Every structure is written in C-alpha cells, then in structure tokens.
Chains A and B, each alone.
Chain A
Amino acid sequence: MDVFAERMKIIPRVLNLQNRRRGALLDEQEIEDLAQDTMALVWSKLDVFAGQSSLESWVYPFCLNTMANAVRKKVRRTPALELQADEPQADAPAAAASDRLGYDEVHAALARLGPPRADVIRLKYFDGLTFAEIARRLSVPLDTAKTWYYRGLQFLKEQLQAGAREVEA
C-alpha cells in the first residue's frame, strides 16, 4: 500500500500546480479537501485502470476535472473572483489562458470518448508511442489502431467545436 500511497501524492501536487495557474483561488484547506475528493473518485474507478499508460498519466485528468469543478463552484459563490480566475499567473507556462481552458476541455472530451479510441489517442499524444507500438500494447491489428485513432479525432473535433460554439454564445 505504501507504494500506491506514495504514487498518489501526485494528486495534491498536481492540484497545487493547477491552483497556482488559476490564480490560487483555493486555499490550502480547500486543496487538501479537493485532494481527498479526487482520491475518492480515483478509488471508485480503479477497476477501469488497464495499465495502458502510467498510473500518474491516468490520474492526471481526474485532478483537472475536480479542480475545474471546484473553481467553477467557488467563482459562482464569489463572483468577484471571476476576473482573477481568468488571469494567467506569473508561474504559468507559456500557454495562454484560452489554451489552458482548451486543455481542460481536451481531457474532458477524451473522458467522454472513452476506451478504446481515447486510449489510442492518449498513447499517441501523451505517451509518444507509434501506431505499431500502440497496436502491440492494445493487442489489435495496426489498421484497427489507426481507425480508432481517426474516429477518435473525428469525435474530438466535434466535441471541441461544440465547446467553442458554447463559449462564443
């Protein structure tokens, strides 16, 4: 259990990083509570972790999702925070705030896409595997891996376009 608990420390660490990028809207206690909520979510989904990617890569989108929800709730409760939430922070990476929001949406859309197509896309973009390696890892023919990838891209294209239309509206 110690190994698992050690590896799950990635949860509060990622939440802290994401919080700083969003203007430190959540205080230490809120981050601690959010880490517990995220862990509960991860715990409930452990049986779908197939070991295709590293445990940390698998856990990461849960952190983004719970953080985004927590920030939305806090902004709703405290409207004065809205402006602050949209401002990129000094220690933020080069990505613009609009890209940052886009990245959250990418992970959310991948979660909606689900396996096996989302697995192929994650392995290709997040783990840097070639199609041949992906096919071997998923034990499917090469053409199947490519087809899942292409269908996955089509789904993401529609999802991200729908998200962009909502933002514009």
Chain B
Amino acid sequence: MSPHDAAHDEVLFRAMVGDLLPGAPELERILESCSTCRSEWNDFQSVDRALAGAGGEMSRDLELARQSGGTPAEERFAAAIRARAAAQPPSRARRLARAAGFLAAAAALLLLVRHFLGGSSEAPLELLGRGLAIVSPAGTVERYGTFEFRGDLEQGGAFVLRIRDAALGAASEPILSSGRIAALSFTPAPDAEARLPAHILMQLDLYDANGVLRDSRTSEARLARR
C-alpha cells in the first residue's frame, strides 16, 4: 500500500478529464496500491453515471416535450406569459437593481428583454438560437441517409454535426463528424453510414464567422431494424 499524496490526485485528475484512458498503467498502479485512490475513483464513477443518467433523462424529456402539447391549458399558459410581459416588463426591476457597475450584464439583459418583448429580430434571436434544428433523420427511420438541418448561418459561419452512439451516451466521443460545413445537409460516405449503430445521438453546433460556438441542438434517431 502506498500513502495517498498529491501525485495520486494528479493522476486521478488526468484520468477524470480524459487525459489518461481507463486502464492506463499510471492509473492502474495507484488504484492497486492506494485505497484512497480506489475509493475516490469509484465515487467519481458513481457521479459520472448519475450525471450521464440525469442528462439522458433530460434529453428524453425535452424531446418528448417538443413532440407533445397543443392543450388548452398550454395556450392559457402562453397567454399568461404574454400578459405578464405586457404588465411587468422584466427589464425594469433588474435595470434599477443593477444600475451601476453592471453595465455589461445589463447590456446582455436588454438584448434578451428586447427579444422577449418582440421588439427585435436580430441579435437576441441569434442568442436564443431560433430556428436551429436537426430536421432529419428523426425518430425511427428505415435508414439514416442524408442528415438535414436548418438554421440561420451568417456569412463565413459553419455547422458541425457530430454523431454519437446512443448506447455510449451524450458524453461519449463522436463516432462520426461532418467537420465544418456551410451546407444544410450532410451525407456520410456509404461505408460510414453502414457503420452507424441502430440508435444515434446527433449534435448540431452553429459557429459564427469568428469560429465562436453560438448555439447547439441535439436530437436522436434509431433504425427500424438492423
């Protein structure tokens, strides 16, 4: 048994951030020789599973929620939001509260508020990522085929579509990436498409002309049979 020390912490850190792969000799050595490391490592793995599970449930809920709705109660809810905005613009209290010293935050807030009140269709909409969506494949399909999406792409901007194996989770490394493209579709090579698993997670990122990530959307699709 070796006593736990800062060097061990460093190895655990590198393993948890992915700089060391599971099974790396350095990691295996401390897990075998140090009970504190073993305990820490097991605890981190539990947290990792809990986060992945919570993230998976959130993705499923949001996808189901997007597909549901249309009830009278929902329309009443939306009407109440419009009424609230008309009666109590959310900017006032915050502007008063943050009048001095928070100019940058206030500027960002005003952009949001202007958007929420319907006054502008420029930057705030971009901030909220209006229209960015993965159109197909969606749900259960016979084959994945061409991946189609929509979104407002500025001059010099790019989309990047990343595809992951759903069985490995949203935090896994992508198994296929479109690279930076300026088109609204991506068609994988036939052999690459054939290698895709029966259930995939798709992540569409929108970059501006400066290469800054502006928004992201996720979706999933599965094959009817394989």
A binds B: yes
Cα A60 to Cα B58 in complex, Å, equals 7
Interface readout for B160-201 with A: 1 if CB under 8 Å, 0 if not? 001010000011000000000000000000000000000001
Asked if B216 and A102 sit within 8 Å, CB to CB, the answer is no
Cα A93 to Cα B60 in complex, Å, equals 9
Which of A8, A14, A16, A125 is B81 in contact with, Cβ under 8 Å? Answer: A8
Asked if A60 and B62 sit within 8 Å, CB to CB, the answer is yes
Chain A residues, Cβ within 8 Å of B18: 131
Cα A73 to Cα B36 in complex, Å, equals 40
Q: Does B213 lie at the interface of the complex (its beta carbon under 8 Å from any beta carbon of A)?
A: yes
Chain A residues, Cβ within 8 Å of B127: 51
Nearest A residue to B40 via CB reads A157
Distance between A128 CB and nearest chain B CB, rounded to angstroms:
4
Cα A140 to Cα B56 in complex, Å, equals 27
Q: Does B64 lie at the interface of the complex (its beta carbon under 8 Å from any beta carbon of A)?
A: yes
- With A54-B129, A93-B57, A99-B53 in contact, is A127–B77 under 8 Å at CB? no
Cα A153 to Cα B215 in complex, Å, equals 25
Distance between B181 CB and nearest chain A CB, rounded to angstroms:
17
Cα A51 to Cα B213 in complex, Å, equals 11
Q: Does A2 lie at the interface of the complex (its beta carbon under 8 Å from any beta carbon of B)?
A: yes
Interface readout for B207-226 with A: 1 if CB under 8 Å, 0 if not? 00001110111100000000
Asked if A1 and B81 sit within 8 Å, CB to CB, the answer is yes
Chain A residues, Cβ within 8 Å of B17: 131, 146, 149-150
Contacting residues of chain B (127-168) with chain A, CB-CB under 8 angstroms: 127-130, 162, 164
Which of A2, A43, A127 is B84 in contact with, Cβ under 8 Å? Answer: A43
Nearest B residue to A6 via CB reads B78
Cα A105 to Cα B47 in complex, Å, equals 11
Asked if A49 and B112 sit within 8 Å, CB to CB, the answer is yes
List the interface of chain A (C-beta within 8 A of B): 1-14, 16-18, 28, 31-32, 35-36, 39, 43, 46-47, 49-51, 53-57, 60, 93, 95, 99-100, 102-103, 105-107, 121, 124-129, 131, 133, 136-137, 146, 149-150, 153, 156-157, 160-161
